[in-house]
Chain A
């Protein structure tokens, strides 16, 4: 795979993509549970459908993070150059960004699972 020496490949957006998915997932889980418990369930009521929704959010978030992480893995291993990626070249800058994106994807995936674990163990609105 050849890296296109283009301005866009050095974009910082790829770096924040996975943490952003994690943040949106957290917000979506929190909002869904809050609205469900406030509007649809009684005090101490069942989380019910909100748990399924959190399951769907989690699956979607993990797929998104996996895509970003896979892209990072493939691009950082371009030409099998080992780290550190600190040369003043487009290739090294891209490798650095993609490597950081890969590591952040792993962190985001773990954090997303941690968020979802609460819904696995807690089945009520209490």
Chain B
């Protein structure tokens, strides 16, 4: 594993304290520490929110730049530490003036300048590709950052748009054009597995193009501190085959289905009677509020409250009754006044909005 067997323990002797060298315990502790460190490092590369596990063209480019820089940094570190060790070994006699001059000017000024220039030009040369807009006819999505959720607007070929929230689905192997806005403070839109981050600025529209290359579920986050619940502002990203994406988008355009059973019907009445529709929209009902997430197809989403909670009935009931316990400072008022039966009915109704 990790090619540790290829090394001899003697190669580590120079780096561990004498007490650790002597006994079996010391060696074991050293191996254990190395294994633990490398395991942490390697597991950090996995997961749905890792820039080092790219699932898109742009993220792959950025990861490539990162690994080149890590490689460069390791080489520079080895040279510097190697020279420091060398300096400890040599006799402190008078050195040749020209040799000293070579090392000071060459190592201190010329080499860093060349390395920085190469890295800068290499990094900048990626920018035209990363900034290239998606071709005409690509899927276009406007995302508006709000404290602390995401309004998502899919633009349709006919010029219409369908408004969703807190979840983004994308077709695989196709460029997608994002237009990014903010309704309040500065946010930053970042799906680490698919590409770089772009700020969302009040009063301005910024742009991002992504090219998903692998189907799967990923996570997007707000990458700019935007208030107390900044860390609770993320969203799921589902990259799908074109056919599945078309089916999903068609389903999202449809108005909400009527409540399918008695419990859900009661939930709908609770929803409308307690004024939820003043803030939320459920297309096909009287609820047409615009200041909170659209709930027309809430039940089809993978997670709840901008990915802060799992999509379960208990979590939904807890969220409705005590939203500020999950997201301090959230604008949604508490509905702890609702009875347990009303909460259950409301949750059942919302879950049925597939």
Binding site for B on A (CB under 8 A): 43-44, 106, 110, 114, 117-118, 120-124, 126
A123: chain B residues within 8 A (beta carbon): 128
> Is B39 located at the chain interface by the 8 A CB criterion?
no
Asked if A126 and B120 make an inter-chain contact with CB atoms under 8 angstroms apart, the answer reads no
Binding site for A on B (CB under 8 A): 109, 113, 116-117, 120-121, 124-125, 127-128, 131, 133, 179, 204-207
Asked if A117 and B133 make an inter-chain contact with CB atoms under 8 angstroms apart, the answer reads no
A121: chain B residues within 8 A (beta carbon): 121, 124-125, 127-128
Asked if A122 and B124 make an inter-chain contact with CB atoms under 8 angstroms apart, the answer reads yes
Between-chain CB contacts (< 8 Å), 16 pairs: A43-B179, A43-B204, A44-B133, A44-B207, A106-B109, A110-B113, A114-B116, A117-B120, A117-B121, A118-B124, A121-B124, A121-B128, A122-B124, A122-B127, A123-B128, A126-B207
Shortest distance between the CB of A82 and any CB in chain B (Å): 9
A117: chain B residues within 8 A (beta carbon): 120-121, 124
B125: chain A residues within 8 A (beta carbon): 121
Which residue of the partner chain, among A106, A114, A126, contacts B131 with CB atoms under 8 Å? A126
B204: chain A residues within 8 A (beta carbon): 43
Return the chain A residue nearest B116 by Cβ: A114
Kindly list 16 other residue pairs between chains A and B, CB separation below 8 angstroms, not including A117-B120, A121-B128.
Answer: A43-B204, A43-B205, A44-B133, A44-B207, A106-B109, A110-B113, A114-B116, A114-B117, A117-B121, A118-B124, A120-B124, A121-B125, A121-B127, A122-B131, A124-B131, A126-B207
How distant is the Cα of A43 from the Cα of B121 in the complex, in angstroms? 25
A-B contact count (CB 8 A): 31
Could you say which of A121, A122, A123 has the most chain B C-beta atoms within 10 Å of its C-beta?
A: A121
Shortest distance between the CB of A51 and any CB in chain B (Å): 13
A106: chain B residues within 8 A (beta carbon): 109
Closest 4 A/B residue pairs (Cβ) = A121-B124, A126-B131, A44-B207, A122-B127
A124: chain B residues within 8 A (beta carbon): 131
Return the chain A residue nearest B125 by Cβ: A121
How distant is the Cα of A103 from the Cα of B206 in the complex, in angstroms? 40
Return the chain A residue nearest B133 by Cβ: A44
How distant is the Cα of A55 from the Cα of B204 in the complex, in angstroms? 27
B113: chain A residues within 8 A (beta carbon): 110
How distant is the Cα of A118 from the Cα of B124 in the complex, in angstroms? 7
How distant is the Cα of A44 from the Cα of B205 in the complex, in angstroms? 10
Shortest distance between the CB of B108 and any CB in chain A (Å): 11
A118: chain B residues within 8 A (beta carbon): 124
Return the chain B residue nearest A37 by Cβ: B204
With known contacts A110-B113, A114-B120, A43–B207 Cβ distance under 8 A: yes
B206: chain A residues within 8 A (beta carbon): 43, 126
B124: chain A residues within 8 A (beta carbon): 117-118, 120-122
Shortest distance between the CB of B41 and any CB in chain A (Å): 31
Return the chain B residue nearest A42 by Cβ: B205
How distant is the Cα of A123 from the Cα of B120 in the complex, in angstroms? 16
A44: chain B residues within 8 A (beta carbon): 133, 207
How distant is the Cα of A121 from the Cα of B124 in the complex, in angstroms? 6
B121: chain A residues within 8 A (beta carbon): 117, 121
How distant is the Cα of A126 from the Cα of B205 in the complex, in angstroms? 10
How distant is the Cα of A112 from the Cα of B254 in the complex, in angstroms? 56
How distant is the Cα of A44 from the Cα of B179 in the complex, in angstroms? 10
How distant is the Cα of A114 from the Cα of B128 in the complex, in angstroms? 17
Asked if A122 and B128 make an inter-chain contact with CB atoms under 8 angstroms apart, the answer reads yes
Return the chain B residue nearest A126 by Cβ: B131
Shortest distance between the CB of A25 and any CB in chain B (Å): 17
B205: chain A residues within 8 A (beta carbon): 43
B120: chain A residues within 8 A (beta carbon): 114, 117
